[in-house]
Structure 1
Amino acid sequence: MLRLVGEVDLETVAAFQRAHPPVAVAAVDLTDVRFLSSSAVSFLLRQTQPVRDRGQLPAVLGASAQARRVLELIGVVELFALAS
């Protein structure tokens, strides 16, 4: 599970990628995310693609109404299983 916290933007994503090798992520916890940029959504799509390639939907846990709205506006909400 990948747990994101605070404001997740291009700078946050770049720092994470410098510090961690790419890994397949089956679930993402957004409970403590206050801001989710389009760069963050692109990052989530890349990190969770191997799960979709296996015919499953990666889980997104604790997404605020704002985070859900971002996923809807970008048109990727159906690529995740949203859970409370």
Structure 2
Amino acid sequence: MCRNIKTLFNFDPPATEEEIEAAAVQFVRKLSGFQQPSKANEKAFHDAVTDVTAVARKLLDSLVTNADARNREVEAERAKARNAKRFGMSE
């Protein structure tokens, strides 16, 4: 489940709220063990996603670096190349 959580810091353009929330959902899913919570746990699940999203946004806003911002397209191509090498896929 958590393999879908991507690095969100130091990208140009910066991470969107949707990306941060998607990472929060993955994190809460991993912690709770629920892909989709039951009705009894739905409120607690969604409250946790909201809280984790807020904390993640606060973290990303407070981090500093001297490194140049990474380009999303370049990083996606690098990841694609790593996966092709790792899994032996060809384009």
Q: With structure 1 as the length reference, what TM-score do the two structures score?
A: 0.29
Structure 1 or 2: larger helix share? 2
Higher relative contact order, structure no. (Cα contacts within 8 Å, ≥ 6 residues apart): 2
Greater strand percent: which structure? 1
Give TM-score, length-normalised by structure 2: 0.27
